[in-house]
Chain A
């Protein structure tokens, strides 16, 4: 019971990232806590418990999307493409204006809590429509046609939004994580 209660801030943060709506996030978390309390008996270790509760949350978030229905539908071009932040990546000939950095060893990145803190900050910075699309696809691992359906958009728009979300995220991480000298130094020492 205490262990489940302690997960509240984590669950709320995740639900907010995906749903981008406080009331919906609260609902999804409430339902998750109830379902977790009902099923908790068989779980002892905290790591397992957390994985299990986050798994419940993912289902409850999808339920919440279904309930919200039309309200999630995207109606403005600005929301769909999130402005022109990516136009500067390429020159007129389609070449990159600046070379992307080497992100180094994936495992070293994934083993650092700071990487995830910055990832979450970058996810929050995405326009809501892009953040929802990206997390539906990559976090909740929904099929692309299903993502388009949940968001009420065409397949083409769906691919474009996911593309924009990915590139904006990687630019954000490249600047805030890979490109920051202090973190780069930590990187080098993170390989144990």
Chain B
């Protein structure tokens, strides 16, 4: 998972890459993110439409799966 570790290099680096943002989006659905990662993701989403779209689609996936079988 080399792509995901880059976001953690340099303790205070706030600006992250799309690959790191994708990882944090998913990670945040499974456990609370540390505050610095939350800030990183927040700042990235503010400026990246591509990642906002991915984030919205992951939300939709989560909602859709909960309706499986309920018609």
Contacts and interface: CB of A to CB of B under 8 A. Distances in A.
Contacts, number: 103
A135 B62 CA distance: 10
Interface residues of A, number: 46
A13 B58 CA distance: 23
Contact of B20 (A14, A94, A170): A94
Contacts of A166: 26, 29, 58, 61
Interface residues of B, number: 33
B63 A110 contact: yes
Given A100-B53, A162-B26, A138 B18 contact: no
A141 B66 contact: yes
A23 interface: no
B69 A138 contact: no
Given A137-B30, A162-B30, A163-B26, A106 B60 contact: yes
9 contacts: A89-B19, A90-B17, A99-B50, A103-B56, A159-B27, A162-B26, A167-B26, A170-B58, A170-B61
Interface of A: 10-11, 13-14, 17, 47, 50-51, 54, 57, 89-90, 93-96, 99-103, 106, 109-110, 115-116, 119-120, 134-135, 137-139, 141, 144, 158-160, 162-163, 166-167, 169-170, 173-174
